[in-house]
Structure 1
Amino acid sequence: MVVVLDERMHTDVAWNRDVVQVNWLKRRRLVDMDEVEVGSASQVDVEHFCTQFLEDEDSFRQARKERVRCRILADSPIDQTAVDTLRRTFPGRVTDERR
């Protein structure tokens, strides 16, 4: 399960082969996830998502929190402040494909 923060994704949910992608920008709710994919998202949206993720009290998700990875897509226009927020939220687990 991949949570997507990307204004270019127009659907709530998409299936890409065997991967389910959930558009957080449309739903604004957390789901059980393995990865976060960041494309075109505002700093405010990144902050809101990260705060929601860090404060999540769901017992199943809490046990898995340390394993969730974050990937910044190669064409993502997010700024350094958003990248820093993601790195604090997912320490050592952020891959920035723009480099």
Structure 2
Amino acid sequence: HHDIGFIIGCSYGNGYRLTHRDDYASAIVEAAKSLSTRYRSVAHIIQSWNTDKGWMSERGWECPVIIDNMMNLELMFDATKLSGDSTYYKIAVAHADRT
């Protein structure tokens, strides 16, 4: 879901900031792991939506990316801090550099 940064950051992100509960940290990392499946390594971006055979393909959209994805980068940076896995950081920086 391309809005995962909004959804998780406003709930689990703030919850973790206030309580430092491990289950909140786990939810943040799991969300980042899910978001990372939308990363397209050839284009160096996080894809917003899967393309369909309808209006998106009629417009020639092969890998749609919208500005909202920039809100997801904080989630990726937080997941890096919490997990120690720099993959999330690298994805976030690559996306920011490309878009």
- TM-score calculated relative to the size of structure 2: 0.32
TM-score by length of 1: 0.32
More helix by share: 2
The structure whose RCO (Cα within 8 Å, separation 6+) is larger is 2
Indicate the structure (1 or 2) with the bigger Cα radius of gyration: 2
